Chain A
Amino acid sequence: MSVIRTAGGRSVAFRPRALAVGLGCLVVAAVASVFAIGSGSGDYPMTTGQVLDTLLGSGNPADEFIVNDIRLPRVVTALLVGAALALGGAVFQSVVRNPLGSPDVLGFTHGAATGALTVIVVFGGGSLALACGAVAGGLATGLLIYGLAWRQGVHGYRLVLIGIGITAILTGVNGYLLTRAQITEAARAVLWMTGSLDGRGWDDAVPLLIAMAVLLPVVLLGCARAMRMLEMGDDAAFALGVPVERIRLTVLAAAVLLVSFGAAAAGPVAFVALTAPQVARRMTKAPGPNLLPSLCTGAALLVIADLAAQRAFSGHQLPVGVITGVLGGGYLVWLLATERKAGRI
């Protein structure tokens, strides 16, 4: 841990390695983004020079249209969704004190999916209505799980088990909604549930950007220090002056919102919330929630996954959720095997 002290008596503490990991991920994400814009969806290859020129505002009009209206929004959405899901996952894993306690496993993304499916199947709504449905569904599920898990405080495994129960119910409900749909709507719904960035525009990126602009300071500046203390146990944190339940409620609410807005923009992309914080933790080798490195890792992960999804089979684009699902599933099994030996699950 390094500390910088300013003349005014203020101090900033940081871990050099965590900082390096965060910056490294950002660089990777930036390079992947430029590459994704250069070779992205559609047949209009651009050189890296062209992309950079256009991004800096001196490209020709055709390039500007392709970059600013088509490919940049998709990449920005990918970066934001990855960051939002990863930060939500890091918060959950820290509060539940379990690497598996991610929103995908605990049912929040299922709730968002229920909301979105209801919009698709019952109201036949467009993408804005779908996003609202996803956020409403995720929030309602969050409230329900929090309310049910509350018994003189919300803590660890009870939250997990309640989440698992709610997930099972919502899986049934989602399945029912799917059977009620017309086949074209069902295909659209399954596509949304898998998570896809295809055709995402500024309409999808801007609400998420606003949500993150509000929520990131709350989590990163307001609660990060308290969360590190919470990981030492409720009693220790309370003794150190942390308002335990208030912090927990705040960060959980913020995480549910982040995950729901992320899902609203691109669907509940599988396993980013689970894997990104774990990858980040392994790279920083630091204890604690590792919020900022997780966020950067998530952004890089999703851009790279989307790039792979577009290029894995030539002439055939996969939704990004297929890639993260397959990779994340494999990673999960490995995690289960190794973490159990270490006694952390």
Chain B
Amino acid sequence: MSLTKSPQTETGSTAAPPTAARPPGGRYALRAAGLLGAVLLLCVLLALSLAVGAKPLSLNEAWRGLTDSASPEYTVVHEMRLPRTLLGLMAGTALGLAGGVMQALTRNPLADPGLLGINAGAAAAVVSAISFLGITSFTGYVWFAFAGTGAVSVLVYVVGGGRGATPARLALGGAALNAALFSYVNAVQLLDTASLDKMRFWTVGSLAGAHADTAQKVVWFILLGVLLALALARPLNALALGDDSAQALGAHPARTRAGGMLAVTLLCGAATAACGPIVFVGLMVPHMVRTLTGPDMRWVLPYCAVLAPVLLLGADVLGRVLARPSELQVGIVTAVLGGPFFLYFVRHRKVVRA
């Protein structure tokens, strides 16, 4: 990996804010090179996700399937693996960024869209739409997902104590909302066995049902959310100093919070509507990233955007390998991988005094 200063690679590889003031010495180059490395890692995972599955392909075959419409692999790659991979890419980016923004916004290291009940809010809204209103198309229920996400993120923020929330208090409020919403989801499924069959797969969090058009429909929402989140990097940095200092620096705390909520709503709502509730991705990735980059959001957010899909696609590929010839849904793999990480974090870091 090159350690020379290469600002082009950094701005070229992601939509990172190009205004980053250059810190002294080689840190900037190191971080840029690290980001480039993360992008390369993402490329490897994308290739793996195309190649691994019920019918394993060599990378060569996968490439032929991708590009040559006459090859025997074309159908498998284009009908199944490609939509799934793209959806994993988008959902991963969305959840990672949402986690990063939420942790900064609440100043809370335990914030995660899954743990705080925000995905559950989307799930409850979607399940209602499917069961009571008979809406089965993605474009139909995605709006319900947004509504549920938005409502719960405001609720959990207010309930958790707004700016004065301690990590544990926010997590506990989120867990309680989670319990309430999933008990509602269970109840609805019970009263409507026909949709239980459809929804029991959706409520675990899976990329398997991805169709080409799901990825197409979700892409604009996520793109908008990604741009908004990245644009918030600088104001979020200011917010980390406290409201008064942020204001003195010319930032608008209220506007930043509203923008952050909107970004989280777009990102989580779209990702959850497309894949079901996936937990822990938004928790783990920002933590790992901060150990690499430090607290500067201008670096944290782009790294999250690249490394979260690495994690999600990795979990998805792992799920396909582990349970051959069937597969483990990605939401289960992230829960089982992320849980121990969370437990380690609670035990060994000073999140909780006592």
Q: Say yes or no: B173 contacts A100, CB within 8 Å.
A: yes
Q: For window 47-90 of chain A, which residues contact chain B by CB distance below 8 Å?
A: none
Number of residues on chain B facing chain A (CB within 8 A): 56
Q: Say yes or no: A165 contacts B343, CB within 8 Å.
A: yes
Residues of chain B with a CB closer than 8 A to A148's CB: 343, 347
Residues of chain B with a CB closer than 8 A to A333's CB: 155, 159, 177, 180
Q: For window 213-270 of chain B, which residues contact chain A by CB distance below 8 Å?
A: none
Smallest CB separation, B282 vs chain A (Å): 12
A178-B200, A179-B204, A336-B159 known; A158-B352 Cβ under 8 A: yes
B335's closest neighbor in chain A, by CB? A172
**Chain A 183-198 interface mask (CB, 8 Å, partner B; 1/0):** 1001100110110000
Smallest CB separation, B200 vs chain A (Å): 5
A165-B343, A176-B329, A186-B200 known; A337-B190 Cβ under 8 A: no
Judged by a CB distance under 8 angstroms, whether A29 is at the interface is no
The distance in angstroms between the C-alpha atoms of A340 and B172, with both chains bound, is 12
Q: Say yes or no: A325 contacts B173, CB within 8 Å.
A: no
| Other-chain residue from A104, A172, A183 in contact with B336 (beta carbon distance below 8 A) | A172
| Other-chain residue from A164, A175, A325 in contact with B203 (beta carbon distance below 8 A) | A175
Judged by a CB distance under 8 angstroms, whether A171 is at the interface is yes
Residues of chain B with a CB closer than 8 A to A160's CB: 168, 171-172
| Other-chain residue from B173, B279, B336 in contact with A336 (beta carbon distance below 8 A) | B173
Residues of chain B with a CB closer than 8 A to A253's CB: none
Q: Say yes or no: B184 contacts A158, CB within 8 Å.
A: no
Smallest CB separation, A236 vs chain B (Å): 15
B120's closest neighbor in chain A, by CB? A171
Residues of chain A with a CB closer than 8 A to B329's CB: 175-176, 179
Q: Say yes or no: B354 contacts A155, CB within 8 Å.
A: yes
Number of residues on chain A facing chain B (CB within 8 A): 51
Q: Say yes or no: B190 contacts A329, CB within 8 Å.
A: no
Smallest CB separation, B115 vs chain A (Å): 6
Q: Say yes or no: A169 contacts B339, CB within 8 Å.
A: yes
Residues of chain B with a CB closer than 8 A to A31's CB: none
Q: Say yes or no: A194 contacts B335, CB within 8 Å.
A: no
Q: For window 148-165 of chain A, which residues contact chain B by CB distance below 8 Å?
A: 148, 151, 155-158, 160-162, 164-165
**Chain A 282-318 interface mask (CB, 8 Å, partner B; 1/0):** 0000000000000000000000000000000000001
Q: For window 164-208 of chain B, which residues contact chain A by CB distance below 8 Å?
A: 168-169, 171-173, 175-184, 186-187, 189-191, 193, 196-197, 200-201, 203-205
Q: Say yes or no: B176 contacts A168, CB within 8 Å.
A: no
Q: Say yes or no: B354 contacts A340, CB within 8 Å.
A: no
Judged by a CB distance under 8 angstroms, whether A270 is at the interface is yes
Residues of chain B with a CB closer than 8 A to A206's CB: none
B173's closest neighbor in chain A, by CB? A336
The distance in angstroms between the C-alpha atoms of A187 and B186, with both chains bound, is 11
Judged by a CB distance under 8 angstroms, whether A23 is at the interface is no
Judged by a CB distance under 8 angstroms, whether B110 is at the interface is yes
B342's closest neighbor in chain A, by CB? A165
B328's closest neighbor in chain A, by CB? A176
The distance in angstroms between the C-alpha atoms of A98 and B187, with both chains bound, is 27
Q: Say yes or no: A169 contacts B352, CB within 8 Å.
A: no
Residue among B115, B181, B182, B204 with most chain A CB within 10 A? B204
The distance in angstroms between the C-alpha atoms of A162 and B343, with both chains bound, is 6
Judged by a CB distance under 8 angstroms, whether A166 is at the interface is yes
A324's closest neighbor in chain B, by CB? B183
The distance in angstroms between the C-alpha atoms of A179 and B197, with both chains bound, is 9
A155-B354, A175-B329, A326-B184 known; A105-B175 Cβ under 8 A: yes
Residues of chain A with a CB closer than 8 A to B186's CB: 190, 193-194, 321, 325
Residues of chain B with a CB closer than 8 A to A328's CB: 180, 183
Q: Say yes or no: B190 contacts A169, CB within 8 Å.
A: no
Judged by a CB distance under 8 angstroms, whether A138 is at the interface is no
The distance in angstroms between the C-alpha atoms of A186 and B189, with both chains bound, is 11
Residues of chain B with a CB closer than 8 A to A146's CB: none
The distance in angstroms between the C-alpha atoms of A100 and B279, with both chains bound, is 21
Ordered by A's residue number, 17 sampled pairs between the chains whose C-beta atoms are within 8 Å are A104-B179, A148-B343, A158-B347, A161-B346, A164-B171, A166-B343, A168-B279, A168-B335, A172-B336, A271-B179, A321-B183, A322-B187, A325-B180, A326-B184, A326-B187, A336-B176, A340-B159
Question: Lowest 7 A-B CB distances belong to which pairs?
Answer: A172-B335, A169-B339, A329-B180, A175-B204, A325-B183, A165-B342, A157-B168
Q: Give B contacts to A, CB under 8 Å.
A: 110, 114-115, 155, 158-161, 168-169, 171-173, 175-184, 186-187, 189-191, 193, 196-197, 200-201, 203-205, 279-280, 328-329, 331-332, 334-336, 338-340, 342-343, 346-347, 351-354
Other than the given A169-B339, A175-B329, A333-B180, 6 more pairs (CB < 8 A) read A160-B172, A167-B178, A171-B335, A173-B336, A322-B190, A332-B180
